[in-house]
């Protein structure tokens, strides 16, 4: 007969075996969910702020709610997640009964059903065809699986690039967060149908260039084909696109194909205001997502425009809608930190202003509830765009010729962490949205004396327009016309191009100097392709630079650019 000690050992051994079996079963369930549905959602207890930040470096955190952390894992995330040795639960994937698909374009455009991919493509082009002077379709790029990423431009002279502020809305960066997709299509139709109503809609269409990208992750939304069945958060490569934008805290991030196209598109425009739409929560989230200790220069302005959006929603919704955190508004990193997010990239790298709008606690909103979400939010969609009318609007020109100048506009005693803006080098126009108050700015550009403009008073919901004339500086002498380089774009992000057709077949050397005259970069033995020379400047700090090009004959050519 075994002694008590032996019995205890047998019991403990059995418990260990059972626990191990349960862990193995849970791991298997995780793999099964991913294989069957393309993703698995897991939940675990909040481990603390710092530890969650470390977890977020390895796997995409979807949300933090009531002491629980939710993550949506693709196949490429599983091993990293299991290496964390967390106690977790797998959330069962419910059949997508709520994702009811329309049978026709006409049915889809009643906006209480989800369109098929074919219907979506037809709707976008139908809007452009029905309103040819107000709407056109542009292609941002293609997804991993070759689906088009489309954008609608809406403006009163849609086929012209006017001197008007450009604004941008994007939805469905996460493919399983569905409602923004339908709401953005409906917003486009609403603007077009009301473009001559004498009210806010007409003012927006007449005075802004509005861009709407209803579906930025088509492979995730249409994971199973032409209809929405078990959509996935990530793209076809398993990449969470809202953790995949370049980030100064994580230089290892390499943007996937959808984000490469999106970045190129946003760089080609000059969006002064934008928003991206999500779900899984109900809150407006403003920068920074990546930094808790850094407060953005425009934190008060960001909070106030988000507050106005949420307060307008509350006037038209049920009592419990969009009341998370500070009654519907939170600074991103206060909620939880992420890296590679789009709103921080746009605000920090592109000098835009972007927020994230979480539209519904339910990611896959039942189709029948889409009209309710529209009624709750459409006034706020319009009101948010209205912010682009206000603040300091202006034009920077050469004081002698009147030609537009690409210049840096810096708010004295206020701007920090890349919050300055630039005027468009082709038009000289700029927009600097600010909270009410009296502000001083400096306007500077290579080859010109810096100009100070003081005492600009901004009042609530008002625009102050200024014209700034810059004069040439005596300390910098422009080279003769035939020795000047034509450089674009100005300002530039990561690359500049030099008009170099006359150097075809010649071996070139290039030197780049900062404003102090210090050599910061040098390249030799360069050759011209397609009549232009591309220079990578991604390693340079933001600022003004002089570039010097020397050909084989020793002739020197110079130019200036802004990064």
Residues annotated as catalytic are 358
For the CA atoms of 497, 141, 281, 319, what is the dihedral angle to 10 degrees?
Answer: 100
Q: For residue 404, give the DSSP letter.
A: B
Name the phi and psi angles at 112, rounded to 5: -125, 20
Q: How many other β-carbons are positioned within 10 Å of the β-carbon of residue 384? A: 23
Q: What kind and span of H or E run contains 465?
A: strand 463-470
Q: What kind and span of H or E run contains 36?
A: helix 4-37
Assign 90 to helix, strand or coil.
strand
Q: Which two tokens stand for residue 389?
A: 């009318």
The residue to which tokens 């306007």 are assigned: 443
Beta bridge mates, 411 = 441
The separation between the first and the last C-alpha atoms of the chain, rounded to the nearest angstrom, is 83
Burial of 405 (0-12, 13-18, 19+ CB in 10 A): buried
Label residues 127-162 b or e (16+ Cβ within 10 Å = b). bbeebeebbbeeebbebbeebbbbbbbbbbebeeee
Query: Which residues are CB-contacts of 483 (< 8 A; sequence separation ≥ 6)?
Result: 555, 556, 557, 558
Which of 80, 85, 84, 63 has its CA nearest to residue 72?
63
DSSP structure string for 369-395: GHHHHHHHHHHHHHHHHHGGGSEEEEE
- Cα(511)–Cα(523) distance, rounded to whole angstroms? 6
- At residue 555's C-alpha, the angle toward residues 549 and 557, to 5°, is 40
Q: Which two tokens stand for residue 363?
A: 């990611």
DSSP structure string for 327-362: HSEEEHHHH---SS-HHHHHHHHS---EEEEEEESS
Query: Which residues are CB-contacts of 475 (< 8 A; sequence separation ≥ 6)?
Result: none
Name the phi and psi angles at 92, rounded to 5: -60, 140
DSSP structure string for 251-274: TT----HHHHHHHHHHHHS-EEEE
Query: Using N-to-C axis directions, what is the helix angle for 200-207 and 370-386, rounded to 10°?
Result: 60
Which of 522, 497, 518, 498 has its CA nearest to residue 510?
522
- At residue 400's C-alpha, the angle toward residues 397 and 405, to 5°, is 25
Q: Which two tokens stand for residue 309?
A: 């959006």
Peptide bond into 422 cis (omega under 30): no
């Amino acid at each position: 007969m075994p002694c008590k000690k032996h019995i205890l050992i047998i019991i403990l051994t059995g418990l260990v075996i059972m626990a191990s079996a349960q862990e193995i079963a849970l791991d298997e369930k995780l793999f099964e969910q991913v294989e069957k549905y393309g993703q698995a959602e897991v939940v675990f207890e909040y481990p603390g702020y710092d530890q969650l930040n470390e977890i977020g470096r390895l796997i995409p955190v979807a949300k933090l709610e009531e002491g629980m952390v939710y993550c949506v894992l693709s196949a490429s995330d599983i091993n990293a997640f299991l290496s964390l040795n967390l106690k977790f639960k797998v959330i069962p994937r419910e059949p997508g009964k709520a994702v009811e698909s329309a049978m026709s374009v006409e049915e889809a455009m009643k906006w209480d059903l989800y369109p098929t991919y074919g219907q979506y493509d037809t709707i976008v082009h139908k809007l452009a065809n029905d309103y040819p002077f107000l709407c056109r379709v542009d292609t941002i790029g293609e997804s991993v699986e070759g689906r088009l990423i489309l954008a609608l431009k809406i403006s009163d002279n849609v086929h012209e690039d006017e001197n008007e502020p450009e604004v941008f809305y994007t939805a469905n960066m996460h493919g399983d967060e569905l409602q923004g997709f339908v709401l953005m299509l409906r917003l486009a139709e609403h603007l077009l149908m009301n473009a001559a109503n004498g009210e806010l809609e007409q003012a927006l269409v007449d005075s802004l260039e509005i861009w709407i990208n209803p579906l930025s992750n088509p492979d995730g939304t249409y994971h199973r084909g032409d209809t929405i069945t078990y959509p996935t958060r990530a793209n076809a490569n398993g990449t969470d696109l809202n953790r995949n934008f370049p980030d100064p805290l994580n230089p290892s991030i390499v943007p996937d194909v959808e984000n490469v196209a999106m970045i190129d598109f946003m760089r080609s425009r000059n969006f002064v205001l934008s928003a991206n739409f999500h779900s899984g929560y109900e809150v407006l989230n403003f920068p920074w997502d990546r930094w808790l200790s850094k407060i953005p220069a425009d934190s008060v302005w960001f909070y106030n425009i988000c507050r106005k959006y949420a307060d307008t929603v509350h006037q038209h919704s049920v009592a419990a809608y969009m009341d998370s955190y500070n009654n519907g508004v939170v600074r991103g990193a206060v909620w939880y930190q992420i890296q590679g997010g789009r709103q921080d990239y746009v605000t920090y790298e592109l000098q835009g202003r972007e927020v994230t709008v979480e539209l519904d606690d339910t990611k896959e909103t039942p189709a029948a509830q889409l009209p309710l979400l529209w009624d709750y939010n459409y006034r706020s969609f319009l009101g948010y765009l209205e912010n682009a009318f206000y603040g300091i609007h202006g034009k920077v020109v050469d004081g002698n010729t009147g030609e537009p100048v690409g210049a840096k506009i810096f708010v004295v005693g206020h701007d920090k962490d890349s919050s300055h803006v630039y005027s468009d080098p082709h038009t000289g126009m700029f927009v600097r949205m600010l909270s009410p108050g009296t502000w001083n700015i400096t306007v500077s550009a290579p080859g010109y004396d810096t100009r100070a403009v003081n005492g600009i008073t901004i009042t609530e919901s008002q625009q102050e327009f200024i014209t700034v004339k810059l004069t040439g500086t005596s300390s910098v002498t422009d080279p003769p016309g035939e020795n000047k380089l034509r450089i674009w774009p100005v300002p530039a992000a990561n690359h500049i191009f030099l008009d170099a057709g006359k150097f075809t077949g010649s071996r070139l050397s290039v030197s780049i100097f900062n404003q102090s005259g210090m050599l910061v970069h040098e390249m030799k033995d360069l050759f011209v392709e397609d009549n232009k020379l591309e220079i990578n400047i991604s390693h340079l700090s933001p600022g003004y630079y002089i570039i010097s090009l020397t050909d084989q004959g020793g002739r020197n050519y110079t130019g200036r650019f802004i990064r």
